[in-house]
Structure 1
């Protein structure tokens, strides 16, 4: 009897203490919401938008775009363009050994050019174009979800999708000179690459949102996306060479695919989170006082 009574009293004390802690936590949350509403909105947006899934889908579309375009460039692009692409991809991933040989085989010129053209053909070019617009649509949807906007009409957005992919391809082609600081060195290459990424993601949001959001509110997302890409670019040169060669040695071409896709998932997830966080920061105090959205429609 004594033990039962003691247990009941102890349980009641624990229950009262738990209720007090819960009440205190609710008060702290309410106070935080009043003082920093941006944190509440940011948390709700990150939890409700399923951003990791969106980033994974974006990575899959990026991979499906890059493979046909790689073979199309290897088949039809001039030798100078192929050499530039090789240098840029080596600069991005720090390719060495077997993975570098695989890439060189896919893009190198030589006696197999005509056979590669016949294999790729018009069907390969069409596949590359279709895949590229799928990537653009996925990226546009990321931007629209970040800003809580409906989908753009196809007639309005179609040319924007193709223009964006062409711009991404051009940026990839010049990655080698950018990251080398145009011959000066990495100390200039890092800030130049960051500025190039800033311009790209600032313009990307404006383009794929069909100018429904003014330029200035798009700046936080562009800054965060460029910072994330710059950080990942620095780590890619350290991690990717050994990862690619190890996967290629263990699993063959399938391992190479898995390694590249894993890196794309990390990259696209980072961009997705950056654009979403940037949209919330631009719409909530205190930044919304300076990044007015009055021009948005």
Structure 2
């Protein structure tokens, strides 16, 4: 072993300490992302969202009015950029069914959807609590919040198509409106799922990062997703779209998890903390 190898290894091991001394903010960001365990949180959230989305599609296909079905198809197409065969698969979910089958599917489907979707709500709550270093809220205090989150986000998904087009005002205005609406939704989501233990203003940096990141991913999906879905369907058939959708959900929740985790660090920096009135004392228990 040459003398240069031990020296190189020593420099490598000393790098984190050097980084914290000379770039303390970067060091705090690295520590925060490691504590949150971004990839683990994102994967869990993607899996729970995927398990909740499929039953929801069947429920909506069975019991929703025609205009709601059409609006959901439009919003999914706009958000994911789906085309051709992949879009036909989505439309097939909303094909007409007889009244008896719709009633039967609706009764069972609503229960399955609620159970699956509340699992996603719970996973998202744990991610927010981990990012803000808070203890887990009691289930009896948080249960209604899980259901409220599901209802609001299903409504938001329903109108994603018109929002992206700014209700006919144009694509550029739609992008700005989508960022603003996404920021508002993630701001409210954090406050709701954290049980109002964190004041509104300190949650704003994470909400802005999430709103911007989500819209950047949606814009990139318009270019990437059609080709990715087409290639996967050629290789794996109809299951190909499932693989691509799950990968997209993982990317989405990586963006959201990083945004919320980084938002915590930004909100506690000296200057933003004064503006946002971030509490530095231990936060109160959930109400």
CA offsets per residue over residues 107-152 of structure 1, 9 Å max, x none?
133xx34364266242222111100100100110110000000111
Aligned equivalents of 2:246, 2:253: Cα separation in 1? 10
Displacement of 1:193 in angstroms is 0.2
Aligned equivalents of 2:62, 2:123: Cα separation in 1? 27
Q: How does 1:139-218 map to 2 (within 5 A)?
A: 139-218=124-203
Corresponding residue for 1:49?
36
Q: Is 16-25 or 260-269 further displaced after alignment?
A: 16-25
Q: Which of structures 1 and 2 has the bigger CA Rg?
A: 1
Which 5+ residue runs of structure 2 have no aligned equivalent? none
Q: Is 119-128 or 255-264 further displaced after alignment?
A: 119-128
Corresponding residue for 2:75?
88
Displacement of 1:244 in angstroms is 1.7
Corresponding residue for 2:49?
62
Corresponding residue for 1:281?
266
Corresponding residue for 2:239?
254
TM-score by length of 1: 0.87
Extract structure 1 runs of 4+ deviating beyond 6 A: none
Aligned equivalents of 1:15, 1:237: Cα separation in 2? 47
Aligned equivalents of 1:275, 1:197: Cα separation in 2? 13
2:210 is the alignment partner of 1:225: yes
CA contact (8 A) 1:137 1:161 kept: yes
Aligned equivalents of 1:15, 1:89: Cα separation in 2? 54
Aligned equivalents of 2:24, 2:196: Cα separation in 1? 27
CA offsets per residue over residues 159-201 of structure 1, 9 Å max, x none?
1101101111111100110111111110110000000001000
Displacement of 1:51 in angstroms is 1.2
Which 5+ residue runs of structure 1 have no aligned equivalent? 1-6
**Cα distance change of structure 1 residues 259 and 29 upon mapping to structure 2, 3 Å threshold:** closer
Displacement of 1:16 in angstroms is 9.2
Corresponding residue for 2:278?
293
CA contact (8 A) 1:37 1:285 kept: no
CA contact (8 A) 2:20 2:26 kept: no
Q: 2:27 aligns with which of 40, 45, 59?
A: 40
CA offsets per residue over residues 29-69 of structure 1, 9 Å max, x none?
4532xxx5332221112123221011000000011111101
Displacement of 1:238 in angstroms is 1.0
CA contact (8 A) 2:121 2:149 kept: yes
**Cα distance change of structure 1 residues 100 and 41 upon mapping to structure 2, 3 Å threshold:** same
Displacement of 1:293 in angstroms is 2.3
**Cα distance change of structure 1 residues 144 and 17 upon mapping to structure 2, 3 Å threshold:** closer
**Cα distance change of structure 1 residues 159 and 104 upon mapping to structure 2, 3 Å threshold:** same
* 3-state SS of paired residue (2:166): coil
**Cα distance change of structure 1 residues 223 and 114 upon mapping to structure 2, 3 Å threshold:** same
CA offsets per residue over residues 10-42 of structure 1, 9 Å max, x none?
84xx4896699579868744532xxx5332221
Matched length: 282
